[in-house]
């Protein structure tokens, strides 16, 4: 006998049973059957999970139970069944109710269930209803919709910015009221047109709109300012930002373009710049006025001493008296003081002749320490704090010593009741950020020489003027106001800089920062190996000597030319004169000249250009340059401005004005005795 139960255990379930097993396994969908009137006749676990109803609590009840009151009142459940019957399917989304009254957004599909042999149109055995809870998606869509609406309202509400979209080719695809207000175009008049329509003719010809889109694509953003056009042809200054818009796949969908009219801001900036330029010009004129006033005051005193000395000399000589030595000494002293004043002015202008060399600041400070100690007096404690392993600097040692002495004296004067004066040295490295306020200064290694006092200090308004020539905080007669300006000029000419920190009642610190590098050329354009072409003022005792040869004197100042000719002729030279470069070339062509003495600052063809022209036909011509600006003037006076750094031939020499008669005589004598070069080295 066969065991039917055992056999039934191995038989596959029927089709109806398999379907029921499938329905019962679904948890994310509510699947239930309705009879032809809409009464629930089956209930799966997914329906219980979604609505909260157990099967025995819902089977036998009408499915409209899941609809909110407003839907039932509007007959939504009945229309759903009618639609399913008439169209074969009803599909919709809407709010449904859980057992606890909570609402969820449901996606509902209702389809009629018909008999196997078919039924007449409009009749069904019942309905299958499949429902899914899509509240999360609905909330996300609603959030996105609200966000988009808010953004739309925001864009539409903005009137100070033109905010619009461009398609990938740059055609306008949206237009906000701000764009209409700014550019004058109505939306229907501009949408579909290329955005280059807003650009000026010159920008379109230069391809600016195309470069803007290309930059936005390659860099993710284009931002610039420039002239744009309104519909009426009026220009306005616009700040423009263009950014590409891409979808989730990275495909370009277009560009967002935001434009703001900043014409008024630009006008304000231009007005501010003009005001700043006017202020700078005013300050410059004030500084020039102070400079010229100070120069006039000091030089008038010196001229007074020279003039009075000359008058007294004339009077005594006319009376047959020869005791004129005190007056000649006074006149010479005034000339020396005038030369010193001129050197200080040239230092401020960074045009003084420097003799840079390798220098150890620690050794320099130590060597001057006794002199500095005697200069400050007993009421001030002088301290030195010198860093070990200090790097050498490349600068003029004499100028450093002069600067240090002046700074120590300034510190002493700032402490009338005594105090502490510290001299420090330290290695430092300054990068580009550290030198942001120091134009023409190169990053690198420096040595810092600091003089710090505990004196009265300076307020900001005084500190702002300390580098101006003839500006001084000392009483009249106790300072020229050239010390710090000379220090400033020396530092800048040496490739360094000066910084001052000062607080009222707490003292002042002055830092002289000098570079450690040894440049190929000094700031005057003269290489170290060429520095010998500048002749120092030799101590040449004695008067005229017997000599021979012809000297061409080129000087536009008649008094100076007359004196130079007098000295040369007293020494036995034949002289030829010229007041400018053009006349000098004519003299060179008509006379056999052995040596030419020329001022650099001639009108028209300057001294350097004159010499270069003469050397083209006379490469062996000896030339002595006289200049108040020393070596730098020779570089700046090169032909067509290209003479800077050009090496002069060995037949050339330079003397800085004012030059003593003895120094002039010695230089002429040396040059005339020099043998001509075998060939030109130019």
CB 487 within 8 A of CB 500: no
Give the per-residue pLDDT at 236: 93
Q: Edge to edge, what strands does the sheet with 497-503 contain?
A: 380-386, 419-430, 444-453, 507-515, 497-503
pLDDT in tens, 588-611: 999 899 999 999 888 888 889 999
The CATH number of residue 443's host domain is: 3.30.565.10
**Is residue 515's pLDDT more than 70?**
yes
N-terminal to C-terminal alpha carbon distance within the chain: 133
Domain match, 380 and 511 both: yes
Q: Which range is most confident: 87-101, 305-319, 469-483, 654-668? A: 87-101
CB 500 within 8 A of CB 450: no
Q: Of 358, 367, 399, which Cα lies nearest the Cα of 386?
A: 367
Give the per-residue pLDDT at 465: 67
Give the per-residue pLDDT at 427: 93
Boundary of a domain, candidates 488, 515, 542: 515
- CA 313 – CA 319 distance, rounded (Å): 10
Residue 271 lies inside a defined structural domain of this protein: no
Domain match, 503 and 373 both: yes
pLDDT in tens, 283-305: 555 555 555 555 555 666 677 77
Residue 419 lies inside a defined structural domain of this protein: yes
Q: Edge to edge, what strands does the sheet with 29-34 contain?
A: 29-34, 126-133, 103-113, 90-97
Residue 77 lies inside a defined structural domain of this protein: yes
Domain match, 130 and 166 both: no
Give the per-residue pLDDT at 466: 72
Residue 631 lies inside a defined structural domain of this protein: yes
Domain match, 238 and 168 both: yes
Residue 150 lies inside a defined structural domain of this protein: no
Share of the chain above pLDDT 90, in %: 37
Tell me the residue range of the domain where 465 lies: 357-515
**Is residue 344's pLDDT more than 90?**
no
The CATH number of residue 202's host domain is: 3.30.450.20
Boundary of a domain, candidates 203, 229, 261: 261
Write b or e for each residue in 106-126: b if 16 or more Cβ atoms lie within 10 A of its Cβ, otherwise e.
bbbebbbebeeeeeeeeebeb
Give the per-residue pLDDT at 527: 38
DSSP-derived pairing of the beta strands 419-430 and 380-386: parallel
Domain match, 669 and 537 both: yes
Mean pLDDT of 661-672: 90
Give the per-residue pLDDT at 114: 79
**Is residue 386's pLDDT more than 90?**
yes
| 347 confidence band (pLDDT: 50, 70, 90) | very low
Domain match, 371 and 509 both: yes
Domain match, 122 and 29 both: yes
Residue 148 lies inside a defined structural domain of this protein: no
Mean pLDDT of 111-125: 65
The CATH number of residue 652's host domain is: 3.40.50.2300
Domain match, 507 and 413 both: yes
pLDDT in tens, 546-555: 568 999 999 9
- CA 664 – CA 655 distance, rounded (Å): 8
Domain match, 543 and 661 both: yes
Domain match, 52 and 163 both: no
Write b or e for each residue in 33-65: b if 16 or more Cβ atoms lie within 10 A of its Cβ, otherwise e.
bbbeebebebbbebbbebbebeeeebeeebbeb
- Total domains in the fold of the chain: 5
Give the per-residue pLDDT at 74: 94
**Is residue 633's pLDDT more than 60?**
no
Share of the chain above pLDDT 70, in %: 75
Give the per-residue pLDDT at 76: 94
**Residues whose CB falls within 8 Å of the CB of residue 466, separated by 6 or more in sequence, listed in order:** 458, 484, 500
| Bridge partners, residue 419, by sequence | 380
Domain match, 340 and 386 both: no
pLDDT in tens, 3-57: 433 444 455 555 555 556 656 666 789 999 999 999 999 999 989 999 999 999 9
Residue 276 lies inside a defined structural domain of this protein: no
Boundary of a domain, candidates 211, 230, 261: 261
Q: Which range is most confident: 280-289, 389-398, 515-524, 576-585? A: 576-585
Domain match, 376 and 507 both: yes
pLDDT in tens, 55-99: 999 999 999 999 999 999 999 999 999 999 999 999 999 999 999
Residue 151 lies inside a defined structural domain of this protein: no
């Amino acid at each position: 006998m066969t065991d039917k139960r055992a056999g039934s255990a191995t038989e596959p379930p029927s089709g109806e049973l398999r379907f029921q097993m499938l329905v019962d396994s679904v948890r994310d969908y509510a699947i239930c059957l309705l009879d032809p009137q809409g009464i629930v006749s089956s209930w799966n676990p997914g329906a219980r999970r979604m609505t909260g109803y157990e099967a025995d609590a819902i089977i036998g009840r009408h499915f409209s139970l899941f609809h909110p009151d407003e839907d039932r009142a509007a007959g939504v459940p009945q229309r759903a069944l009618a639609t399913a019957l008439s169209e074969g399917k009803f599909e919709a989304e809407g709010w449904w109710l859980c057992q606890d009254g909570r609402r969820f957004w449901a996606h509902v599909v209702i389809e009629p269930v018909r008999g196997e042999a078919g039924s007449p149109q409009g009749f069904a055995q019942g309905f299958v209803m499949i429902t899914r809870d899509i509240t999360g998606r609905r909330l996300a869509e609603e959030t996105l919709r609200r966000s988009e609406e808010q953004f739309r309202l925001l864009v539409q509400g903005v009137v100070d910015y033109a905010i619009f979209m461009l398609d990938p080719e740059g055609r306008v695809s949206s237009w906000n009221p701000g764009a209409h207000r700014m550019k004058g175009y109505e939306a229907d008049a501009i949408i579909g047109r290329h955005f280059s329509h807003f650009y000026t003719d010159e920008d379109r010809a230069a391809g600016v709109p195309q470069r803007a889109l290309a930059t936005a694509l390659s860099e993710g953003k284009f931002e610039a300012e420039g002239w744009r056009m309104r519909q009426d042809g009026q220009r306005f200054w616009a700040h423009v930002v263009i950014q590409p818009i891409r979808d989730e796949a990275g495909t370009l969908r277009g560009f967002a373009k935001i434009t703001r009219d900043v014409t008024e801001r630009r006008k304000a900036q231009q007005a501010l710049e003009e005001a700043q330029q006017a202020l700078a010009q005013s300050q410059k004129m004030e500084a020039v006025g102070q400079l010229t006033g100070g120069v006039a005051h000091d030089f008038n005193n010196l001229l007074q001493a020279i003039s009075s000395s000359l008058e007294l000399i004339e009077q005594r000589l006319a009376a047959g008296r020869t005791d004129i030595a005190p007056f000649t000494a006074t006149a010479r002293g005034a000339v020396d003081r005038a030369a010193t004043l001129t050197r200080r002015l040239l230092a401020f202008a960074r045009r003084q002749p420097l003799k840079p060399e390798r220098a150890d600041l620690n050794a320099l400070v130590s060597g001057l320490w006794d002199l500095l100690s005697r200069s400050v007096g007993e009421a001030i404690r002088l301290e030195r704090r010198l860093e070990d392993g200090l790097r050498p600097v490349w600068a003029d040692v004499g100028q450093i010593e002069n600067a240090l002495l002046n700074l120590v004296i300034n510190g002493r004067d700032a402490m009338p009741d005594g105090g502490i004066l510290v001299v420090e040295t330290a290695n430092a490295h300054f990068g580009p950020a550290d030198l942001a306020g120091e134009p023409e200064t190169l990053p690198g290694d420096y040595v810092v020489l600091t003089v710090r006092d505990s004196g009265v200090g300076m307020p900001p308004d005084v500190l702002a003027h300390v580098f101006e020539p003839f500006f001084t905080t000392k009483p009249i007669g106790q300072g020229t106001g050239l010390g710090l300006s000379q220090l400033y000029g020396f530092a800048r000419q040496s490739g360094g800089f000066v910084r001052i920190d000062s607080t009222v009642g707490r003292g002042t610190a002055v830092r002289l920062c000098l570079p450690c590098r040894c440049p190929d050329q000094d700031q005057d354009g003269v290489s170290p190996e060429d520095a010998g072409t500048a002749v120092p003022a030799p101590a040449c005792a004695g008067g005229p000597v017997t000599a021979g040869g012809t000297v061409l004197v080129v000087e536009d100042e008649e008094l100076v030319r007359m004196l130079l000719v007098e000295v040369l002729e007293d020494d036995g030279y034949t002289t030829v004169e010229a007041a400018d470069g053009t006349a000098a070339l004519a003299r060179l062509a008509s006379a056999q000249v052995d040596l030419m003495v020329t001022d650099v600052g001639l009108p028209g063809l300057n001294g350097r250009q004159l010499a270069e022209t003469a050397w083209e036909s006379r490469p062996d011509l000896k030339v002595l340059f006289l200049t108040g600006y020393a070596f730098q003037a020779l570089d700046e006076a090169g032909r067509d401005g290209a003479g800077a750094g050009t090496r002069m031939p060995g037949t050339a020499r330079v003397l800085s004005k004012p030059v003593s008669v003895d120094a002039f005589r010695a230089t002429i004598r040396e040059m005339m005795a020099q043998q001509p070069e075998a060939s030109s080295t130019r």
